[in-house]
Amino acid sequence: MVDFAGWDMPLLYGSILEEHQHVRTSGGLFDVSHMGRLRFIGKDSCKMLDRLCTRQILGMQDGQIRYSIVCNARGGCRDDVLVYKIKNCEYLMVCNGANREKILVHIDDNRGDFVFKLKDETNTTAMIALQGPKVMDLLSSVSSEIPKLKRYRFTTKNLLIAKILISRTGYTGEDGVEVILPAAFAKKAIDMLLKNVGESQTIKPAGLGARDSLRLEAGMPLYGHELTEDIDPLAAGLSFAVKLEKGVGDNEAEPFIGQEALLKISEQGVKKKLVGLTLEGKRSPRQNMDVLCDDNVIGFVTSGCLSPSLSYPIAMAYIPSDFEGTTVTVDFGKQQLPANIVSLPFPFSGLSTNN
């Protein structure tokens, strides 16, 4: 167990490698209750969220989820979030646990005259993730509706006296669901959810260590690594989550905080880009290691590990956007090792590489 943003979180239950491989081949259960869960209710909820988010919230359908970035005025990333549309005038935002207090202040500082109520449900709810290629088959034995959900859609179900929200989302590169439910009911719900597993051990618990290596293989950014207040979403390769024309011309959505800065960056050209790196041997690059070309520092590593699925070191790094080479060098201090530049995600066998 480790402290993470004031939460006691499981780093591992036995072996990070075994947990990682079990998620890739069967299924894993993650406790992600540290993630912030903020409910927006009121006539201006959509407008407020469009003001906060780079992705357009106006026009979302009930039961739909959108991945978005919350930016500062400079266009840097304050957080990356998921926004769920419950119904008209009611939305749920899931943010990173370490950023929850910062996001709450950011909302308060920018709410202006918008009319809505904000309810922080982080401490009254729990959140678990079931991820892996056998998860949906397992869930089909208890529900015919859940396996039919499209990616980034959700449904609500009544389980005894509790209402639970189940979404076809995840952070591993595998198929699966994330579940939000009352905290007091979490243990009983998990027991009920897994009662059909029996001796097959289809689903096993997995900790933060495996969660990190899984998302890295899938090329998914982690706040504090690939995303920071000084890194914009365009550089991070997240232009799909940025609608630069919000509030412009016939677009009726509220423009978002940082939009002017990102428009300028887009017009002038993004200066750096996020790439994948692969290395030989067993030494893994670590965050903030320098990336070099011809002995000149051109970038830095954001995340790295020895890939359990690929059995060689992988990393993500920022380098100049106009760099045209296919190889660089990573500075390990006493040693410099060559690395190949590859596209993301890395070529493991999973949902991200199949879609």
Rounded Cα distance, 326 and 124, in Å: 49
Q: Which helix (H) or strand (E) holds 10?
A: none
CA distances to 104, 119, 141 from 21, rounded to whole Å, are: 36, 38, 24
Instruction: Tell me which residue of 175, 145, 178 sits closest to 33, measured CA to CA.
Output: 178
Sign of CA dihedral 42, 56, 229, 283: positive
- 43: alpha, beta or left? (left if phi > 0; alpha if psi -120 to 50): alpha
Tens of each residue's pLDDT in the chain, 355 residues: 999 889 999 999 999 999 999 999 999 999 999 999 999 999 999 999 999 999 999 999 999 999 999 999 999 999 999 999 999 999 999 999 999 999 999 999 999 999 999 999 999 999 999 999 999 998 888 788 999 999 999 999 887 778 899 999 999 999 999 999 999 988 887 787 666 554 568 899 999 999 999 999 999 999 999 999 999 999 999 999 999 999 999 999 999 999 999 999 999 999 999 999 999 999 999 999 999 999 999 999 999 999 999 999 999 999 999 999 999 999 999 999 999 999 999 998 666 443 3
Predicted confidence at residue 161, as pLDDT, reads 78
CATH code given to domain 271-355: 2.40.30.110
CA distances to 135, 254, 308 from 143, rounded to whole Å, are: 12, 38, 32
Q: Give the CA count within 13 Å in the CB-facing half-sphere of 336.
A: 12
Identical fold, 2-216 and 271-355: no
pTM, two decimal places: 0.95
Q: How many beta carbons lie within 10 A of that of residue 298, not counting itself?
A: 18
**Tokens describing residue 57:** 């919230």
**Tokens describing residue 62:** 């009930």
Q: Which CATH superfamily is domain 2-216 in?
A: Probable tRNA modification gtpase trme; domain 1 (3.30.1360.120)
**Tokens describing residue 72:** 């500062």
Predicted confidence at residue 234, as pLDDT, reads 98
Domain ranges of the chain: 2-216, 271-355
DSSP string, 109-175: HH-TT---EEEE-TTTEEEEEEESTTHHHHHHTT-SSGGGPPTTBEEEEEETTEEEEEES--SSSS-
